[in-house]
Amino acid sequence: MTTYYSEEHEWITVEGDSGTVGITDYAQNALGDIVFVEVPEVGNSYDKGDEIAVVESVKAASEIYAPISGEVIAVNDALEDEPALVNAQAETDGWFYKVTISDADELKELMDADGYKAFTAGLE
Amino acid sequence: MLNKQGRQTDIVNLTELPQDSFATHSGNRGLEQDELLIYEIGDTERTGVDLEEVENFENRLGGITREDKIGLAGLSEPETMRHYTRLSRMNYAIDMGLYPLGSCTMKHNPRINEKVARLPGLADIHPLQPMSTVQGALEAMDKLAHWLKTLTGMPAIAMSPKAGAHGELCGLMAIRAALDKRGENRSIVLAPESAHGTNPATATLCGYKVKSIPATENGHVDLEALKEALGPDVAAIMLTNPNTCGLFERDVIEIADAVHDIGGYFYCDGANFNAIVGKVRPGDLGVDAMHINLHKTFSTPHGGGGPGAGPVVLSEALAPFAPVPYVVHSKQGFALVEHMEDGSDSFGRMTAFHGQMGMNIRALAFMMSHGSDGLARVAEDSVLNANYVMASLQDDMTVSYPGPCMHECLFDDRFLNGSGIATLDFAKAMIDEGYHPMTMYFPLVVHGAMLIEPTESESKQSLDQFIGSLRHLVAEAKAGNTELFSGAPYLAPLRRLDETLAARKPVLRWTKPE
């Protein structure tokens, strides 16, 4: 089980040929209190970089971009009633959706935990 | 206590009064009254008016008579009047003080506009009256259209759109119609990161996919990234100039040329036209379509549920696709063309009637009372005021992009780093200082944005007072007085509201407590 990170502040934890996607703790902190999450529909396929979800906080609405291409196989329904989960546990219970990995090579374009840490440190 | 000029104003030292323990029986604070909901003042069980029972009443509604209660609160006339008058006193308005809401241009609405708009010959007419009886009103519309075309250097105009965003829709529909006429099915509209949210919304509504263009570190559109994004599938670019960072896009002509080279159109968001009116003609910059928010540049009243107006000027290329109606004049006088002529390329009609007449009249009054030199002064003074605010605060707050700026100045939250105070807290503390906060967290290209637009309405004295308040707050923040911010506002009718709870679990309907 390995977790990768994108420059758009999404994380994906890979298990076999599928992955779980959410936004990072850094991202939820920057967004502030999250009041609404729109997750994709199960069965839809997206290319890497497509707008796949929307997060609204008290500050702004932000698009979430698919960190990897594939078909959505599950979504986190709990976020509909409790979007605050993303603030509380961005990288565990606040996950957005699960996806099949159609091209494992795309993972190579993402960062590992240390790489992401250095990336966000550079943004401060 | 001393007033702003150092004059003694009160006989009681307010600071000696017990603050939070000063609870009144009524919940009011002096003449500042704690306002209840209208349902809490009135009662669904009583009524404010007594209507006599009608004798020999015959119900002809058949079986569809309402049987359950309608549930409206009954209030007497004085109770109703007082409720709404008290609420209106809690409003902050441009008529009460400086309103520095960036990108919104909260400027003074001159009273001469109101006087002219209330002339019975303009106020008491109906859109279905015979044209021969409304020649003056049609002439006023024609005159306004003429001056808007002259000021923008554009050959055609659509007067009917009823707001800025409606104008955007009009512009993109004209672009769509022009592309359809060419038999092209382009799918992408480009918009910079700093765009108003209405730009991508408009493009999406018109069926386009929006591609975002990043900003450079100087706050301008990244020209190289823009050129890379251009291609045969791009229908248009939507660009605000001056942009929402308060900067003039110097590459605008090169951008227009690049978009035209690939066969696309240049939509200019005219929200910030007030910074360049009388100075720059968008037509000379290669613009194909631009809306003009009459409530910004031409001082018609703002918001509050009132009508807006967003006329759209169009280039030669888009002119044939303009919507109906429009005013024409001949020896016989003025007339409205209400229907598309046979073979017309017009994309149709956007509104039931002819646009917001009251707003048109006010805008025309503003124009004619200012004259061409006066309108240029509007741009000059709005830019001067914004630069005065920016220069005065640049050592206290962090300026996002080096000046000079145009009509608004952008700060970010770096000056609050490490203080534990966020942009939101800072804005709330401004309410205690007696100011409506500036625009917060927009544009999105900087962190914790604070966008200030003083407009040309403010005197130097008024700006100095405002700058003094902000400097005071910055000093308090830097001194670590976080309490002044974290609980603010302390002096408003209501204290800090739970915006998160309000957004997550909004209470949209009053229900009687058990």
pLDDT at B17: 56
Rounded to the nearest 10 degrees, how much is the dihedral formed by the CA atoms of B465, B467, B469, B470?
A: 170
A86-113: per-residue pLDDT in tens?
A: 999 999 999 999 999 989 999 999 999 9
Asked whether residue B307 carries a pLDDT value surpassing 80, the answer given is no
| Buried residues in B319-332 as b, exposed as e (16+ CB within 10 A) | bbbbbbbbbeeeee
Confirm whether A88 is domain-assigned. Answer: yes
A37 is in which domain, residue-wise?
2-102
Contacts of B504 in chain A (CB under 8 A): 35-36, 83-84
Give the residue, B60 or B311, on which the prediction is more confident.
B311
Residues B322 and B466 in one domain: no
**Rounded to an integer, what distance in angstroms lies between the CA atom of residue B84 and that of residue B33?**
12
Contacts of A37 in chain B (CB under 8 A): none
| Of A20-29, B352-361, B457-466, B494-503, the least confident | B494-503
Q: Which of B440, B430, B421 is nearest to B467 (CA)?
A: B430
Expressed in angstroms, the distance from the first to the final Cα of chain B is 46
Mean per-residue pLDDT for B463-474?
97
Q: Is B503–A59 a contact, with Cβ atoms under 8 angstroms apart?
A: no
Contacts of A29 in chain B (CB under 8 A): none
Confirm whether A112 is domain-assigned. Answer: no
Tell me the DSSP string of B374-442: HHHHHHHHHHHHHHHHHHHHTTTSEESS-S--SS-EEEEGGGGTTTT--HHHHHHHHHHTT----EES-
Residues B208 and B302 in one domain: yes
B503 CB within 8 Å of a chain A CB: yes
B444 CB within 8 Å of a chain A CB: yes
**Residue length, chain A?**
124
Q: Is A60–B499 a contact, with Cβ atoms under 8 angstroms apart?
A: no
Confirm whether A53 is domain-assigned. Answer: yes
B504 CB within 8 Å of a chain A CB: yes
Structural contact between residues B243 and B249, judged by C-beta atoms closer than 8 angstroms: yes
B4 CB within 8 Å of a chain A CB: no
Name the domain boundary from B367, B401, B430: B367
Express as a percent the part of chain B with pLDDT over 90: 74
Contacts of A55 in chain B (CB under 8 A): none
Confirm whether A107 is domain-assigned. Answer: no
Contacts of A36 in chain B (CB under 8 A): 503-504
| Buried residues in B199-234 as b, exposed as e (16+ CB within 10 A) | bbebbeebebebbebebeeebbbbbebbeebbeeeb
Confirm whether B210 is domain-assigned. Answer: yes
Domain total of chain B: 2
The rounded Cα B127 to chain-centroid distance in angstroms is 26
Residues B243 and B275 in one domain: yes
Confirm whether B106 is domain-assigned. Answer: no
pLDDT interval class at B22 (50, 70, 90): low
Q: Give Cα separations from B329 to A111, B142, B146 (angstroms).
A: 66, 8, 12
Name the domain boundary from B350, B367, B384: B367
Q: Is A58–B444 a contact, with Cβ atoms under 8 angstroms apart?
A: no
B156-158 β-sheet, strand order: B156-158, B312-314, B289-291, B265-269, B234-240, B188-192, B209-213
**Rounded to an integer, what distance in angstroms lies between the CA atom of residue B486 and that of residue B429?**
8
Residues B332 and B405 in one domain: no
Residues B476 and B453 in one domain: yes
Confirm whether A67 is domain-assigned. Answer: yes
**Rounded to an integer, what distance in angstroms lies between the CA atom of residue A12 and that of residue A99?**
9
Confirm whether A40 is domain-assigned. Answer: yes
Q: Which of B428, B446, B500 to mutate to test the interface with A (most CBs of A within 10 A)?
A: B500
Q: From the CA of A54, how many Å to the nearest CA of chain B? A: 14
- Can you give the CATH number for the domain in which B406 is found? 3.90.1150.10
pLDDT interval class at B444 (50, 70, 90): confident
Asked whether residue B430 carries a pLDDT value surpassing 90, the answer given is yes
**Residue length, chain B?**
514
Q: Which of B196, B447, B504 to mutate to test the interface with A (most CBs of A within 10 A)?
A: B504
pLDDT at B341: 87
Reported ipTM: 0.72
B265-280: per-residue pLDDT in tens?
A: 999 999 999 999 999 9
Mean per-residue pLDDT for B33-57?
86
Q: From the CA of B196, how many Å to the nearest CA of chain A? A: 12
Rounded to the nearest 10 degrees, how much is the dihedral formed by the CA atoms of A93, A97, A103, A109?
A: -60
B134 is in which domain, residue-wise?
112-367
Confirm whether A92 is domain-assigned. Answer: yes
**Rounded to an integer, what distance in angstroms lies between the CA atom of residue B256 and that of residue B253?**
5
- Can you give the CATH number for the domain in which A75 is found? 2.40.50.100
| Of B1-5, B131-135, B286-290, the least confident | B1-5
**Which pTM value belongs to this model?**
0.87
Residues B193 and B331 in one domain: yes
Collapsing DSSP to helix, strand or coil, B228 comes out as helix
Confirm whether B267 is domain-assigned. Answer: yes
Confirm whether A89 is domain-assigned. Answer: yes
| Of B157-161, B337-341, B424-428, B457-461, the least confident | B337-341
pLDDT interval class at B258 (50, 70, 90): very high
A54 CB within 8 Å of a chain B CB: no
Q: From the CA of A18, how many Å to the nearest CA of chain B? A: 29
B505 CB within 8 Å of a chain A CB: no
Q: Is B503–A58 a contact, with Cβ atoms under 8 angstroms apart?
A: yes
Ramachandran sector of residue B371 (left: φ over 0; alpha: ψ -120 to 50; beta: rest): left
Domain total of chain A: 1
